[in-house]
Amino acid sequence: MKNIIVIGHETPVDRDNGIRHLERRGFAVRSYRPDQGEDLPPLDEQTAGVVVLGGPQYVSDLDRFPYLRDEMAYIGEVLKADVPLLGICLGGQLIAAHLGGTVDFHPNGNVAFGYYPLQVTDDGKHWIPDDLTVLAGNAQGFSCPGSATLLASGDVFPNQAFSYGAATIALQFHPEVTRRILDQWQDELAGNIGKPGTQTLDQQDRGFERHNDRLTQWYQTLLDRLF
């Protein structure tokens, strides 16, 4: 049985859509929490891929979150080994930072929390359908590294997805979230609602009902293609 290494940064109330799908596909999902002092495992012939999830930490504050440096070094090992790699939100930001991109707060103070349409680039059409609307929840965003290819942009944060090489994808948005996880975020991130760029709880709830099924189906397809 092949392994998928999943690096997390917070404790979700529910197993996310991606982990469930990978387990259904027969992978052994091995989860690690560097923020809780866990060491990341060596890569071996049983490693089919690595997923780096989101979290509340800031890449721009590495002195406060020093384990993120270790994660960026690990990302370098994954890339060198040509192991398929997916980064979501903070995970995508860590990939961007490792590749020489920048990660920081929006210059106008924008915060994303809600469902937003993507503008897919010509290169992105290989990975993302034109009319996908996605869940975002972030206060920082990434630039697209010069060595990477921009796949999609957005209205609140301009860079929403990029690829690097044949099997590395970085996403700023969250296709993995279940209804229970969204409920958790709506409680924990309630202080963000009302900031520039965010949606109301009612808008988020309607967005989930309208867009979650298609977003989940696309995410499952992405995971199948990568891993």
Q: What would the pLDDT profile of 144-187 be if each residue is shown by its tens digit?
A: 999 999 999 999 999 999 999 999 999 999 999 999 999 999 99
Supply the mean pLDDT for the chain.
97
Helix 67-80 vs helix 90-98: crossing angle, to nearest 10: 70
Assign domain 3-226 to its CATH architecture.
Answer: 3-Layer(aba) Sandwich (3.40)
Rounded mean pLDDT, 21-35: 98
Q: Which stretches within the chain are classed as H helix? A: 17-24, 67-80, 90-98, 179-188, 201-226
Domain boundaries, the chain: 3-226
1 pLDDT tier (thresholds 50, 70, 90): confident
How many C-alpha atoms does 192 have within 13 Å on its Cβ side?
Answer: 22
User: pLDDT over 70 for what percent of the chain?
Assistant: 100
53 Cβ contact partners less than 8 Å away, ≥ 6 residues apart: 6, 7, 8, 9, 16, 88, 89, 90, 91, 176
Residue 78 structure tokens: 């994954």
